[in-house]
Chain A
Amino acid sequence: MNKPSFFFLFFIYGLLGSQLYVAYSQDSNDSLRFYHSIILKPETSSELNSAFLFFERGIQKQLSKGDTISAVQNLRRVAIGQYELGFLYESEATAVQALKLLENQKVDAISREAKSGLLNHLGIVYRRLKLYDKALTYYKIALESAVDATDSIPTINNISNVYLDKNKYELALSNVSLVLKKRLLQNDSIGIARALDNLGFVQSKLNMSEALNNMEYALEIRQRNYDLFGQYSSYHHLSEYYLNQGDRQKAVEHADLAYDIAKQLNSASYIENALSLLLDLSEDPKVIVYRKLTDSISSAKQLQENKYAMIKYNVEKEQQKVQAAEILKEREKVYKIIFISAFILATMIGIFSVYQKNQQRKRELVQTTQKTEARISKRVHDDLANDVSGVMTFVEHKLNIPVKTKERLLFFLNDIYVRARDISVVNAGVNVSDFPTALKNLLAQYHPKGVNIVTSAYTNINWDKVPEHKKIQLYKCLQELLVNTKKHSRATLISIAFNEKGRKNSIVYSDNGIGFDTDKILMGGMKNVETRMTEIGGSFSFESNIGKGFKGILLF
């Protein structure tokens, strides 16, 4: 039986509510005030729902704006609402959430008041759950955070209530006395009356003689102040007092008075409370049985509800944990993927840049070689071939020597001339901007008389995609092969097939000449081709047999 707890609650929230309201009156707008009062004195459940919604939205907005303290105040309102609805565990969680938010908040009067209020609220929740020791612990911490008497009085009162619940009347007494002391200091007659009434009630439990005096004095003050709520409490206490004293008649009288006040208050919960008190006083055995039965049913129901709430709450917590773990896992997975992709990307970029650099270096090397070749060629061409030609002219026209000797000399000079010229031709720079035409001219250059030249379509290979230094290199390779055919093969057919296979290109060069024994012939020319192809990352392979012609494949 926890009858006393009933009316203590009213003023607990009455006070806390005003406290909260005062603390945040600066952001008071109409809807805030409206919902604030709904939370503290809900008339219907739908009202409460809309109030919840209002504050929860507020919390989201305030948190995203970084307005933590406003969010905390709203969380307090929600926690109170949840308590009112009987969602004790949810209420606990909300309060804890608000406390956590406060941890990162700078300590000032507002945050301390909020902290104290929240701790006090937790105490209330635990008391309702009959976890008295836990409730006491929280009240005591709340007291430490309390800024002033306005904060501490309700908490001390709450502490005494718990002691009352635990039938530890001495401890309850010392706390109630402390409240009275503080109230007297405040010089607030309604508060003093409340404290006096409570004191008297506790004293009555201890069978102290001052009990009745104090309670009656409190009633007197309340009547003077037209404090109907207070008067109700007084009549209720007095009724209980008389019942304890064995004076059933007086007890019933006071219970009737309490009922009258409840009707004046026009409050269902007060009326219900008053009627319940009257029922307790009834001597009708059926009523007593009914009372016992409803009490045990309601306490069983409460126990059941608590258990269910606990389970439900635990399940929710578990689910949240699982969800959080899943989110974490998912996030880790994403991080892992991001990390791995970043790693792969970095590696690929690394490899690619090394490859690029390598290619660049190779290309530069080839280009340098090609330039050097062209330069030397020009020198040989401009100087040597021209000089020899000049000497030939001189010998022809100016030298007076026997004709036979002259002829021999001119023959040798011409040989030198031709060789010098050919060096320059082989090594000269090549304009490969129109590669098919360049190749056609190359073929014409080395086209031996009486030989057929057949090619597949030059455009089989997309020459735009082949870089210039590669084209020059291919040009020189084909030149080498053509020179070889012209000089040694006695071929009647030269064929060149251009093929594109995926990203690889190939040129198949063949003649139908006498061929050569690849083991016996010193193949300087073939070696040159191979070197040139390797330089551009390609390859060269060939086959030849005596009497079987020649076939070489340039892959690039």
Chain B
Amino acid sequence: MFQKVLIAEDHGLTGTGLEESLTDLSIPEILVVHYCDVAILKIKAALQQGTPFDLLITDLSFKADYKDRNLSSGVELITEVKRVQPTIKIVVYSVENRIGKIKSLYDDLGIDAFVGKDRRDINEIGQAIEQVFEGNTYLSESLQFALRSSENQLELDDYDILLLKLLTKGLKQEEIAQYFQERNYPASSLRSIQERLGKLKTIFGAKTPIHLVAQAMERGFI
């Protein structure tokens, strides 16, 4: 298990709660800090002393108070830490739940896990840390679905629209295939056209080509 963990969290109750969860995981050395600037100092110091931290658990938002800050957000802290100590593992623990933001934490900052602060996610923190320790990237269940969604969104291309338009003109599938072939469009075989049509029918929940065209028109696609 991780031997030395730094927690950056400005909220007292959350910090201690986290600390207790980690103790349960029998991590010997746990340090809780309330400021990003302190966090980066500790990481640098530990690195110099030859006893670097294995893991950083950080919030994203830190409230401003009377102190001047160099680093004022979790994102800034992560960026700086990655620069100083690229091998350190990072778990983000936050109320954030906008998929775009979270996705960018993984993609752009290279974090290892994101855990939400709602009750369901809190209980996943131990699981997340174990996964990260084993060298995996951890995603909470709810996030997994959301992140997959972007792949489940279907963006119709020009050929789909053209196909639908040709259907409105009363062309048969064979004629559409011929139309595509004459213009050297990709996937112009009858089979490809049929597949494409089948896919569209499924998406729009249409039973027949006529139903499909009606649906597409109704929804403003053609």
- Smallest CB-CB separation from B153: which chain A residue? A453
- A: residues with CB less than 8 A from B are 378, 381-383, 385-387, 389-394, 396-397, 410, 413-414, 417-418, 421, 424-425, 428, 431, 437-438, 440-445, 447, 449, 452-458, 492-493, 495, 497, 499, 506, 508, 510, 512, 551, 553
**When the two chains form their complex, are residues B149 and A444 in contact, meaning their CB atoms are under 8 A apart?**
yes
Residues 91-119 of B contacting A (Cβ, < 8 Å): 95, 97-100, 103, 117-119
Given A389-B118, A389-B122, A551-B219; 8 other pairs, CB 8 A cutoff = A387-B11, A393-B122, A396-B122, A441-B103, A443-B153, A444-B99, A453-B153, A497-B221
**When the two chains form their complex, are residues B122 and A421 in contact, meaning their CB atoms are under 8 A apart?**
no
**When the two chains form their complex, are residues B218 and A381 in contact, meaning their CB atoms are under 8 A apart?**
no
Expressed in whole angstroms, the Cα–Cα distance for A276 and B20 within the complex equals 149
Expressed in whole angstroms, the Cα–Cα distance for A449 and B61 within the complex equals 30
A-B residue pairs in contact (CB < 8 Å), sample of 7: A385-B95, A386-B14, A441-B103, A442-B100, A455-B153, A457-B156, A493-B203
**When the two chains form their complex, are residues B221 and A421 in contact, meaning their CB atoms are under 8 A apart?**
no
Q: How far is the CB of B111 from chain A (nearest CB, A)?
A: 17
Expressed in whole angstroms, the Cα–Cα distance for A393 and B95 within the complex equals 13
- B: residues with CB less than 8 A from A are 11-14, 16-18, 20, 59, 61, 63, 95, 97-100, 103, 117-120, 122, 145-147, 149-150, 152-158, 161, 203-205, 218-221
**When the two chains form their complex, are residues A386 and B122 in contact, meaning their CB atoms are under 8 A apart?**
no
Expressed in whole angstroms, the Cα–Cα distance for A389 and B12 within the complex equals 11
Contacts of A440 in B (CB 8 A): 150, 153
Beyond A493-B204, A493-B205, is A449–B153 a contact (Cβ under 8 Å)? no
Contacts of B145 in A (CB 8 A): 447, 449
Contacts of A449 in B (CB 8 A): 145
Expressed in whole angstroms, the Cα–Cα distance for A418 and B120 within the complex equals 11
**When the two chains form their complex, are residues A421 and B95 in contact, meaning their CB atoms are under 8 A apart?**
yes
Main secondary structure of the interface of B (DSSP, over half): helix
Q: How far is the CB of A147 from chain B (nearest CB, A)?
A: 97
Beyond A414-B119, A444-B147, is A393–B13 a contact (Cβ under 8 Å)? yes
Q: How far is the CB of A457 from chain B (nearest CB, A)?
A: 6
- Smallest CB-CB separation from B151: which chain A residue? A444
**When the two chains form their complex, are residues B99 and A410 in contact, meaning their CB atoms are under 8 A apart?**
no
Contacts of A418 in B (CB 8 A): 118
**When the two chains form their complex, are residues A437 and B100 in contact, meaning their CB atoms are under 8 A apart?**
yes
Contacts of B122 in A (CB 8 A): 389, 392-393, 396
**When the two chains form their complex, are residues B14 and A389 in contact, meaning their CB atoms are under 8 A apart?**
yes
**When the two chains form their complex, are residues B146 and A444 in contact, meaning their CB atoms are under 8 A apart?**
yes
Expressed in whole angstroms, the Cα–Cα distance for A121 and B203 within the complex equals 106
Q: How far is the CB of B49 from chain A (nearest CB, A)?
A: 31
**When the two chains form their complex, are residues B150 and A495 in contact, meaning their CB atoms are under 8 A apart?**
no
**When the two chains form their complex, are residues B98 and A441 in contact, meaning their CB atoms are under 8 A apart?**
yes
Q: How far is the CB of B151 from chain A (nearest CB, A)?
A: 9
Total residue contacts A-B, CB cutoff 8 A:
144
Beyond A396-B122, A421-B95, A440-B153, is A390–B219 a contact (Cβ under 8 Å)? no
Expressed in whole angstroms, the Cα–Cα distance for A455 and B99 within the complex equals 19
- Closest 7 A-B residue pairs measured CB to CB? A508-B220, A393-B17, A441-B100, A390-B13, A447-B149, A497-B220, A444-B149
**When the two chains form their complex, are residues B150 and A454 in contact, meaning their CB atoms are under 8 A apart?**
no
**When the two chains form their complex, are residues B98 and A385 in contact, meaning their CB atoms are under 8 A apart?**
no
- Smallest CB-CB separation from B95: which chain A residue? A385
- Smallest CB-CB separation from A443: which chain B residue? B153
Expressed in whole angstroms, the Cα–Cα distance for A107 and B88 within the complex equals 105
- Smallest CB-CB separation from B15: which chain A residue? A390
Report which of B11, B16, B218 forms a contact with A389, defined as CB distance below 8 A.
Answer: B11
**When the two chains form their complex, are residues B154 and A454 in contact, meaning their CB atoms are under 8 A apart?**
yes
**When the two chains form their complex, are residues B205 and A512 in contact, meaning their CB atoms are under 8 A apart?**
yes
- Smallest CB-CB separation from B156: which chain A residue? A456
Expressed in whole angstroms, the Cα–Cα distance for A492 and B215 within the complex equals 14
Expressed in whole angstroms, the Cα–Cα distance for A51 and B95 within the complex equals 104
Contacts of A458 in B (CB 8 A): 155
Contacts of A493 in B (CB 8 A): 203-205
**When the two chains form their complex, are residues A394 and B17 in contact, meaning their CB atoms are under 8 A apart?**
yes
Report which of B61, B156, B158, B219 forms a contact with A510, defined as CB distance below 8 A.
Answer: B219
**When the two chains form their complex, are residues B14 and A425 in contact, meaning their CB atoms are under 8 A apart?**
no
Expressed in whole angstroms, the Cα–Cα distance for A553 and B220 within the complex equals 9
Contacts of A410 in B (CB 8 A): 119
**When the two chains form their complex, are residues B221 and A443 in contact, meaning their CB atoms are under 8 A apart?**
no
Contacts of B157 in A (CB 8 A): 457
Expressed in whole angstroms, the Cα–Cα distance for A381 and B74 within the complex equals 14
Contacts of B13 in A (CB 8 A): 390-391, 393-394
Q: How far is the CB of B140 from chain A (nearest CB, A)?
A: 14
Contacts of B120 in A (CB 8 A): 414
Contacts of B221 in A (CB 8 A): 456, 495, 497, 508
Expressed in whole angstroms, the Cα–Cα distance for A393 and B117 within the complex equals 9
Contacts of A444 in B (CB 8 A): 99-100, 146-147, 149-150, 153
Q: How far is the CB of A232 from chain B (nearest CB, A)?
A: 108
Report which of A381, A421, A508 forms a contact with B219, defined as CB distance below 8 A.
Answer: A508
